[in-house]
């Protein structure tokens, strides 16, 4: 009986974090950075992107989906094709 309980606990510990990760990646919630200043139009992959150097405010993080909904477009430096 102790062996069965031990295996169940081990199984739950191994499965739980994997389920959380797959749920986050399934929702497609990539975190991006925006300036938030009055003339800000782009979102960035990194807070350290050189496109954010002239930012008049502190960069804010948000989901890529929210950035698109708020009218931001991808930074041409971060998102080269």
Residue 56's pLDDT is what? 87
Residue 3's pLDDT is what? 64
Q: What is the mean pLDDT of residues 1-17?
A: 51
pLDDT > 70 fraction of the chain, expressed in percent and rounded: 65
Identify whether the C-beta of residue 43 lies closer than 8 Å to the C-beta of residue 72: yes
Residues 37-52 have pLDDT tens digits of 888 999 999 999 999 9
Q: Which helix (DSSP H) or strand (DSSP E) does residue 68 occupy?
A: helix 64-69
The backbone torsions φ and ψ at residue 6, rounded to the nearest 5 degrees and listed phi first, read -60, -40
């Amino acid at each position: 009986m102790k062996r069965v309980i031990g295996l169940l606990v081990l199984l739950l510990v191994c499965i739980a974090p994997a389920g959380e990760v797959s749920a986050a990646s399934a929702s497609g919630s990539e975190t991006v950075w925006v300036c938030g200043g009055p003339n800000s139009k782009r979102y960035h992959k990194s807070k350290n992107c050189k496109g954010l150097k002239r930012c008049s405010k502190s960069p804010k993080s948000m989901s890529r989906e929210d950035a698109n909904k708020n009218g931001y477009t991808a930074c041409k430096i971060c998102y080269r094709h």
